Structure 1
Amino acid sequence: MTEEADDRFLDLRHEPDEPRRQFNRALRLRRLAKLERMGLAIEHAPGVWELSEHMEPTMREMGERGDIIRDMHKVLKADGMERDPLTFQIHDGPPETPIVGRVVDKYLSDELGENLTLVVDGIDGQTHHVAGIDPARVEDARIGSIVEIGPADTGQRPSDRSIAAIAEDGVYRPSRHLEQAKFEGRGPGGEYEEYVDAHVRRLEALRRAGIVERIDADHWRIPDDFESRAAAYDAGRNRQASVRVLSVFDLEKQIGADGATWLDRRLLSADASDLALAGFGQQVREAIDQRREHHIEQRDATRSRDGRIFYRRSLLVTLREREIARIGAEMAEGKGLPFRAATDGESVSGRFTGTAQLTSGKFAIVEKSHEFTLVPWRPVIDRQLGREVTGIVQGGSASWKIGRQNELSI
């Protein structure tokens, strides 16, 4: 139709009387009437139409969205799931509110392999299509994994708050920060210089962005709106959705697992208000019920006469320790090396030789010449594979130290 338009104007007043041309004219008039309802065409006089300059890109976008909907329906059907296309949500960017659900599709969004698209069957009863995701953030996620996709990370950094708090009369001094860090014991592992140097590196990045000014090595000029400008700078650079892999295992594997699962955390929270009564939300409700029965069978929970459920004290800790002990024993047979479980508060050191994915989470394998142990993994040690590392185990997590490079909240 656009090919017939003269500078976006289409004149259908004078058509030949032959039946085929009249039939085609009727079809075009019906099409134009639909475009008018969409705000993409205007009839200035009977048979004289003007097409919107946005018609082609709008129709192209609609075609692309139609392709996406068909692909979503196809992948869901292949997995034995039926979902109402009216529940499909196509996000043009990071979602405004967090989405929690099961990964049903994962594929590259561009030829360069720089971005991924995820299709997530949400606990909210909606099926979400989210493009432009950093592949590194979902490296562990596979089909069936439970993930949370949220807005782009735009929160203020702890380092920015520290810099603003230390600054006096709009001037930040690293030497002053070092004195205070030593006095308050804020340097992780006693590495106070490295702690302050990390703040200076942050200032160097913000200086290149024109936000702060370096007067000399010990004086930085900080604007009054420093924190808000620093947060805006991060937001401008990071327009990708934030992603957390809540469990690499699907619901079926979690129901009978001996570790601390995502289902357990849902079960103990006792809040099901965000679980829809249809779709994946209903499936999670059913899986939680089955997980509860599993705990009763394993004597990790009891049901009283009035129907109330009482769980073992420190259930998540017990489950995590139980799974670690089992996996450690299985790995010891293959390694020919004794396994020793790390205790809470213990400092563990050794060579980082790999990772193990448990239902309780991802763990780093740390080996010594005479034994090995499993320590909660964190991204900071990924580049240290094969090297010596030290970690302090605390409450199901670990604080890692690699040489002089400490993990800092920068």
Structure 2
Amino acid sequence: MGLATEHAPGVWELGARMEPALRELGERGDIIRNMHKALKADGLERDPMTFQLHDAAPTAPITGRVVDKYLTDEMSENLTLVVDGIDGRTHHVPGIDPARAENARIGSIIEVGPADTAGRPSDRTIATIAEDGLYRPSRHLEQARFEGRVPGGDYEGYVDSHVRRLEALRRAGIVERIDADLWRIPEDFESRAATYDAGCNRLASIRVVSTVDLEKQIGADGATWLDRRLVTPDASDITPAGFGQQVREAMDKRREHHIEQGDATRSREGHILYRRNLLANLRKREVARVGAEMAESKGVPFRAAADGENVSGKFTGTAQLSSGKFAVVEKSHEFTLVPWRPVIDRQLGREVMGVVQGQSVSWQLGRQRGLGV
């Protein structure tokens, strides 16, 4: 290991880096044991040689299934994710902003990318909650419970993640803690917080590509992540090993499902031909089914929104489909489902108006008229 040198028989000199090097090896061993434990809990076995431990945000995107998610350490404001990748490796990625990973639950399929230069959602939330330059965790907790949009219902944990962020920024001299339930937030809080992050190891970006696991995607009636992979000509990033092999097998089963349902045919040469506009048709089919099911419980009819149509009504909640997340927009006599985007969350319970544009909506929210999201 190069940590000690024998100058003469029985005479050794210990290297200056011996203690930190051994400590680092011990920490690495703990990480590998935790990764094994998380995989075993899912009934998975992976070769330790395929484990990849990242010190910071990956330089190239990693796509895979979340098998573990926890605080990096007791004092940390960030999360660590263990991701079983389609590249045949199992990745240990620290430094994840909890606000960006709210929907990255165990079993979700995500993409972890290079450092995101955009401001943190948690910082925007703190700035929004703050009144007259003062942020109160108790007030934030009340609002979170009222809105009821925290995944898993862990409202205390959700607010605590924001307090940990403030604690880190307090040490950097950006915010001031007056007492346990009162923080002073400067007017230029978001820009100063972004500058602080720029001077640190940048946090990895997170994108949840599917909240539905592989098994459920195989027989789903919506447009799944597997479908998007099927219609993508290049699948060279999916290695025939580990989770990559599981994805390949699931894609084969999904392909056969489409043939059985008449959404695809196999030519004499063995080529698979998919119906035109496959993803859009699958999405419409699932939205129609879910809308009909919701109509029974709501007691008002569902009407699907057409592309280019103006939609208006009260934003009353969201629905998670295999095709993605949708916003529920209600009128007194009917309701519809339209693609959800984060910008609309602050309008929960309010009247909204927008134009459906393909798989997005151009919302007209107050002064942000014509905001394409």
Q: What is the TM-score normalised by the length of structure 2?
A: 0.76
**Residue 373 of structure 1: which of 336, 349, 356 is its match?**
336
Correspondence for 1:308: 271
Displacement after TM superposition at 1:115 (Å): 1.7
1:135-174 aligned at under 5 Å gives the runs 135-154=98-117
Task: Give the residue type in structure 1 aligned to 2:15.
Answer: S
Q: Tell me the equivalent position of 1:291.
A: 254
SS in 1 for 2:99: helix
Which residue, out of 69, 78, 81, partners 1:115?
Answer: 78
**SS in structure 2 at match of 1:95:** coil
* CA contact 2:362–2:371 (8 Å) conserved in 1: no
Unaligned runs of 5+ in 1: 1-37, 156-203, 210-229
1:343-354 equivalent positions in 2, closer than 5 A: 343-354=306-317
In structure 1, what is the Cα distance between the partners aligned to 2:330 and 2:188? Answer: 37
TM-superposed deviation, 1:399: 2.2
The 1-side partners of 2:330 and 2:364 are apart by 16
Which residue, 277, 281, 293 being the options, matches 1:330? 293
The question of whether the paired residues in 2 share the 8 Å contact of 1:91 and 1:131 is answered with yes
Give the counterpart of 1:247 among 210, 232, 235. Answer: 210
Larger Rg: 1
Map 1:79-118 onto structure 2 (within 5 A).
Answer: 79-111=42-74, 114-118=77-81
Seen in structure 2, the aligned counterparts of structure 1 residues 112 and 48 have a Cα distance that, compared at 3 Å, is closer
Q: Helix, strand or coil: the match of 1:399?
A: strand
Give the structure 1 partner of residue 25 of structure 2: 62
Q: TM-score if structure 1 supplies the norm length?
A: 0.69
SS at match of 1:94: coil
The AA in structure 1 aligned to 2:266 is R
Match of residue 130 from structure 1 = 93
Q: Deviations over 1:136-170 (max 9, x none)?
A: 22212222111000110248xxxxxxxxxxxxxxx
Query: What is the aligned counterpart of 1:271 among 222, 234, 240?
Result: 234
Q: What is the root-mean-square deviation in Å for CA atoms of aligned residues? A: 2.6
Instruction: Tell me the secondary structure at the aligned position of residue 317 of structure 1.
Output: helix
Q: Among residues 356, 361, 369, which one is paired with 1:393 in the alignment?
A: 356
1:113 deviates by 6.9
Deviation larger for 387-396 or 110-119? 110-119
**Stretches of structure 2 lacking an aligned partner (at least 5 in a row):** 119-186
Q: For the Cα contact (< 8 Å) 2:60–2:113, is it kept in 1?
A: yes
**Structure 2: how far apart are the matches of 1:407 and 1:84?**
51
Secondary structure of 1:135 counterpart = coil
Amino acid at match of 2:286: E
- The structure-2 alpha-carbon separation of the partners of 1:65 and 1:238, relative to structure 1 and needing over 3 Å to count, comes to closer
How much does 1:39 deviate?
Answer: 2.8
Identity %: 76
How far apart are 1:236 and its partner, in Å? Answer: 3.7
Taking a change above 3 Å as real, the CA distance of residues 407 and 87 of structure 1, as seen in their structure-2 partners, is: farther
